[in-house]
Amino acid sequence: SGSMMQGRNMMNQGNMMQEQNIMPVQDNSQNGNIFEPGGTGKLIVNVTTLRKLFPVVGADVTVFTGTYEDMDIIDTSRTDESGKSKVFSLAAPSKSMSLDPDENGNPYKPYNVLVVADGYIPNIHMNIPIFDSITSLQNSDLVYISASGGNPTPRITDESSSYTL
């Protein structure tokens, strides 16, 4: 009967060790507060044509940082029947940073968007400001390649000055 007692004790010790193994995981989640300065802003891209009269269905929307030639892709989406992309969740300086802007003096983080659809000239929107806890709507009105004399060169728009606080 002595060996059975030992067996029980070992099982109890095993359970205690498992509980101890769980503890560091909880500690790690508290350490996650190190990343607290980062907020999240949202972006919806609304793709239309013919001066915003008609939605463009199935346009490919790419959110990126960097340049068009050397892009760092953050996320992609395809527009729905209303011409809207999904809601992109993007890193942005937290609201508290808005009072104390980033090193560039910006209370936001700029993102770029590439919109591509068959038969249309690609649109590139540079420096779209994304703010913490705010959903931004970026309109992208596509022009038919045929309406541009067949020139498929992307149209680039700088959006950095288009926001108002």
Q: What DSSP string runs through 83-132?
A: SB---EEEEEE-HHHHHS--TTS-SSEEEEEEEE-TTB--EEEEEEEE-T
Q: What is the token pair recorded at 20?
A: 């101890």
If you average pLDDT over residues 8-16, what whole number do you get? 49
Whether the CB-CB separation of 29 and 35 falls below 8 Å is answered with no
- Residue 25's pLDDT band (cuts 50, 70, 90): very low
pLDDT at 98: 52
pLDDT value at 24 more than 50: no
- Residue 36's pLDDT band (cuts 50, 70, 90): very low
Taking the C-alpha atoms of residue 158 and residue 38, their distance in angstroms, rounded to an integer, is: 24
Chain-centre distance of CA 159, in angstroms?
A: 17
* Residue percentage of the chain with pLDDT more than 70: 69
Q: What is the token pair recorded at 90?
A: 């993007």
Q: What is the pLDDT of residues 61-109, one digit of tens each?
A: 999 999 989 999 999 999 999 999 999 999 998 877 555 555 556 688 9
Nearest to 158 by CA among 122, 121, 113: 113
Higher pLDDT, 150 or 138: 138
Instruction: Name the helix (H) or strand (E) containing 72.
Output: strand 71-78
pTM of the model: 0.71
If you average pLDDT over residues 17-34, what whole number do you get? 40
- Residue 23's pLDDT band (cuts 50, 70, 90): very low
